[in-house]
Structure 1
């Protein structure tokens, strides 16, 4: 059989929507945590086929970015930030440079190739559009300057201007593609500058997860908020985050659905009340803590119950009492699915009664160290409803003793972590 080959590719591989759909199958639909960063390796060759395939593959590769607490990831993170902000790495993180002057030298180096160009006429009054594009090294040599004609120079500038436009277009593709950014356990003090720069340019970001980054600050968070696209925000363990930042979250992120502020001890009822009033789509809120328990109370949680769609609430270690939990149960009723009140010492049997009465869809109830809960008949009712319970050893023993004395067996199951 004779085969005929043409230079013209099939229409199917010329349409961005179809190419993007085809390439999406090169990424595993469900990947485990460990190989997350390797999930796009099959896409890398597609970046080199042509511009259409490059842009389609880039939108997938750049959609999700994950960085963890390793030296390799830190270096990759700084490269990532330098690309998305379009500046050299030393300008983002001076501490990574071996010389205190290297950042300035690198910045100046970007424009050194202009010295030979300023002596020649230009078609434009501004040279800024070509200042960041590489120039052949021979143009910088004095002995070669006299060999360059005006036409040669203008032709070179046209080439460089086209390269600059191509670079700008690619950069726009990268920035607009980013939807998920996860930074976990990075302890470097210099993390705020690159993160702030990423925030300025990640205009379509929807999911931001900054986990136990000790030096992450309000100022570094703010640039991510002003684009008003975040629906998922997790700042667990970022103890420098305070009310002033969360007030801005309430102001800008009206579509927020998930907010995790575990161990953010500077966050209080003040900003949580604002979130309740301005983020009506909120479904998941976790403000669990082991310190500063008095800063989160019924003042804000009652508003969360009334004005949001809260289905999952983490209140461990907060200043929560039966009155607060009853308000939550009555307002959220069938919408409430998971609640944690571990180490909320004011909680008693009244809370359990309220959740039995008003919350038929409750699937998880964590009440570890709530020693005022001692009506094991009520707890047995939750177990019978297949509610997963978290109890401490003392509670488990008391519950088992109660059941044994009555000739019953309670199969108390804890939720998976």
Structure 2
């Protein structure tokens, strides 16, 4: 069920009518449902749909950690959880999910600023099946978090730590050592991550969202090409 396409026009009453007789929803996209969605409207839906495997809460500012606790107890088989820009998410809410939903494969925590580094370490340590993880713009993330991720989540394919400025080359080096399935790494605005660690990943064909520096031979080629174009 994709509510995101009409979230701007949806009301709480209409959402209740659409969901009240549904007991087998597996995919629920509530992205940008900030105008009508509340815990009172969502929790009954979670209780009726224990088969949910994918849920997207992007920018659902009217919710609280009550809905995460309900999700953990009612939908333990969830595999994809998107919490992008859900600034209300706190340590207790996320821990409740990690303790019950150990089948999570995709977890997007972009912009969940209230999460502490210790909580993230605990959560990641319990979710060994993770393949896609975004910790972007969680400014408390440190090398310790990425170290546990590298040691625990051997199936990791995509990691986004955009803006996590405390993470350094040491942690990225460990990713290269332990996460052989890694295909995509986003490290934009991570000031202490550079080619010292990234070059190793590039050699393994990992896609990275920052361009490598121009080498001297390539710079010379570009200069010659520029001269040829001018003539």
TM-score range, shorter chain: 0.7 to 0.9
Deviation per residue, 1:130-186 (Å, 9 max, x gap): xxxxxxxxxxxxxxxxxxxxxxxxxxxxxxxxxxxxxxxxxxxx31x2101111212
- Preserved CA contact (<8 Å) 2:12 2:41: no
Structure index of larger Rg: 1
Query: What is the TM-score with the length of structure 2 in the denominator?
Result: 0.86
Q: How many residues align?
A: 222
* Equivalent residue runs for 1:269-348 within 5 Å: 269-289=117-137, 293=139, 295-308=140-153, 309-318=155-164, 319-332=166-179, 334-348=180-194
2: CA distance, partners of 1:194 / 1:267: 25
1: CA distance, partners of 2:200 / 2:193: 12
* Residue 79 of structure 2: aligned partner: 231
Structure 1 stretches of 4+ moved >6 Å: none
2: CA distance, partners of 1:187 / 1:253: 25
- Preserved CA contact (<8 Å) 2:12 2:36: no
- Preserved CA contact (<8 Å) 1:231 1:256: yes
* Equivalent residue runs for 1:330-409 within 5 Å: 330-332=177-179, 334-357=180-203, 360-362=204-206, 364-367=207-210, 375-377=213-215, 404-405=222-223, 407=224
CA drift of 1:376 comes to 2.2
* Residue 48 of structure 2: aligned partner: 201
- Preserved CA contact (<8 Å) 1:225 1:252: yes
2: CA distance, partners of 1:322 / 1:403: 30
- Preserved CA contact (<8 Å) 1:336 1:361: no
RMSD: 2.5
Higher helix proportion, which one?
A: 1
State which drifts further: 214-223 or 335-344.
214-223
2: CA distance, partners of 1:65 / 1:218: 22
Which structure has the higher relative contact order (CA within 8 Å, separation 6+)?
Answer: 2
* Residue 210 of structure 1: aligned partner: 57
1: CA distance, partners of 2:219 / 2:13: 56
Query: What is the TM-score with the length of structure 1 in the denominator?
Result: 0.49
- Structure 1: where are the runs of 5+ without partners? 1-63, 85-173, 381-399, 410-417
2: CA distance, partners of 1:263 / 1:213: 12
**2:187 matches 1:187:** no
